[in-house]
Structure 1
Amino acid sequence: MEGKEEDVRIGAIMFSEGQPIGTAAQTHAKDYKEPPPAQLFEPAELRSWSFYRAGIAEFMATFLFIYVSILTVMGVVKSDSKCSTVGIQGIAWSFGGMIFALVYCTAGISGGHINPAVTFGLLLARKLSLTRAIFYVVMQCLGAICGAGVVKGFQKGVYDSNGGGANVVAAGYTKGDGLGAEIVGTFILVYTVFSATDAKRSARDSHVPVLAPLPIGFAVFLVHLATIPITGTGINPARSLGAAIIYNKEHAWNDHWIFWVGPLIGAALAAIYHQVVIRAIPFTSKR
């Protein structure tokens, strides 16, 4: 406890109240190495097998994620009695558990995004190039479409008669309610991603890279518990798009914009909050 108090005292002296906002964390020697910002365009990536391997990993991870999670949703909604199924809690565990497993499997290959909103947030923070971000989003969306398609192929009647796992704003809620739920839910997810993969945290706690998928999956689980009754929980535009395309009924498209606009706004806010407020990235370059 004494050590922590000493750290606080030294920090108060080192970073005085008079320092400009957004510069304090960059003005002293750091005990960790921050990866350099990614270039906006990296044409050399297009000639690298690792680039395409990462895209394939994103496709497969999103495919498996949608397949298992929507299959779980179908098992719940087709039952007359929710007591005989895993219920909302089981759906939330399905989504969160699959993210935990798949991020663990793919983090070393593609970063384990499995979500265009996560990719967008990391792009804004300059953690990857625009070239790679576009490729990831395309592969994620294709994976989601294929995952939902396989579920429909297994049980077409059940799929078509029970909503196909498509995201819609539930009765009793407004479009504004749905948009707000998607913004806040995605903010929680993307902020967790930034925190779990922070270079500073990894350098000071060697087990963090191993455990990083756990808080990310748990964040997905908790957000689903909160927002399934409102929107069915999107927070992942690829997941919403895949289900909407395969289900392809008019009411599935009426609110579809919410499941892109909400997650992208939430991801942008999380990126700004983490990079500017928490990490204090300088607004101006050093002279």
Structure 2
Amino acid sequence: MGVARSNNKCASVGLQGIAWSFGGMIFALVYCTAGVSGGHINPAVTFGLFLARKLSLTRAIFYIVMQCLGAICGAGVVKGFQPSPYESKNGGANFVSHGYTKGDGLGAEIVGTFILVYTVFSATDAKRNARDSHVPILAPLPIGFAVFLVHLATIPITGTGINPARSLGAAIIYNRDHAWDGHWIFWVGPFVGAALAALYHQVVIRAIPFKSGN
């Protein structure tokens, strides 16, 4: 009984540590690259912003290709420097966990990516920033926190993709059968979630006549 409780506590701490690592790193990367490329490090985010007509098709394709190449290189570096942990953790590859169906995995990826991309829209909305100028906001902070929360919720289901480039890079370097089984989930889910977030923000939220407070 005591051993089981200890194992559950360790698993919880490990889950939170992974989630904080991803959230913190996204905060840092977006903060550092926002002034250069707008902080595009995720094909799903790029796709959502493209649908919202915030960048051209040519730039969107270029960003996605570079994101995928960067992810492949990153996964290769991890494998080269930490081969033992790399193998023990399945190369960080995304796949649907035992006990869940592919439908569960797809749903988790759609919802998780929707939350992330909608947060990106909200945090970078110029009209909202002008309207709510009395509320100071650092865009990378809510984006990083959204990534943290999504990881907490979806790591047990899919290992948390929500970034097709990250999933692709890990799958290519690890290159085992179970890394490719259902890999489509980590492209279709994030792209559908991003499209829904773009639609919701551009069509629904932008149509609401906000009024300033007294």
TM-score (norm: length of structure 1)? 0.67
Paired residue for 2:147? 220
Q: Could you tell me which runs of 5 or more consecutive residues in structure 2 were left unpaired when the two chains were aligned.
A: 1-6, 209-214
Given the alignment, which residue of 164, 167, 170 partners 1:243? 170
Paired residue for 1:121? 48
CA 109–209 in structure 1, closer or farther in 2 if over 3 Å, else same: farther
User: 1:157 Cα shift?
Assistant: 3.1
Contact 1:191/1:270, CA 8 A, preserved across alignment: yes
Q: Could you tell me which runs of 5 or more consecutive residues in structure 1 were left unpaired when the two chains were aligned.
A: 1-79, 282-287
Given the alignment, which residue of 98, 111, 117 partners 2:25? 98
Paired residue for 1:261? 188
Paired residue for 2:212? none
CA deviations on 1:2-49 (whole Å, 9 max, x unpaired) are xxxxxxxxxxxxxxxxxxxxxxxxxxxxxxxxxxxxxxxxxxxxxxxx
Contact 2:123/2:137, CA 8 A, preserved across alignment: no
Greater relative contact order (CA < 8 Å, ≥ 6 in sequence): 2
Tell me the secondary structure at the aligned position of residue 109 of structure 1.
Answer: helix
2:173 is the alignment partner of 1:278:
no
CA 208–131 in structure 1, closer or farther in 2 if over 3 Å, else same: farther
Paired residue for 2:117? 190
Distance 1:218 1:156 in 2: 30
User: 1:158 Cα shift?
Assistant: 2.8
Counterpart of 1:120, as a letter, is: F
Contact 1:197/1:209, CA 8 A, preserved across alignment: no
- Which runs of structure 2 are paired with 1:1-287 in the superposition (5 Å)? 83=10, 87-206=14-133, 211-280=138-207
User: 1:202 Cα shift?
Assistant: 1.9
Tell me the secondary structure at the aligned position of residue 40 of structure 2.
Answer: coil
Contact 2:71/2:169, CA 8 A, preserved across alignment: yes
CA 197–148 in structure 1, closer or farther in 2 if over 3 Å, else same: same
Distance 2:82 2:202 in 1: 45
CA deviations on 1:119-147 (whole Å, 9 max, x unpaired) are 00000000000000000000000111111
CA 206–108 in structure 1, closer or farther in 2 if over 3 Å, else same: farther
Contact 1:100/1:216, CA 8 A, preserved across alignment: yes
CA 207–86 in structure 1, closer or farther in 2 if over 3 Å, else same: farther
* Larger relative helix fraction: 2
Distance 1:84 1:228 in 2: 12
Counterpart of 2:176, as a letter, is: K
TM-score (norm: length of structure 2)? 0.89
Distance 2:79 2:196 in 1: 35
CA 232–98 in structure 1, closer or farther in 2 if over 3 Å, else same: same
User: 1:156 Cα shift?
Assistant: 1.8
Q: How many residues align?
A: 202
Per mean C-alpha deviation after superposition, the further-off stretch among 208-217 and 146-155 is 208-217
Counterpart of 1:268, as a letter, is: A
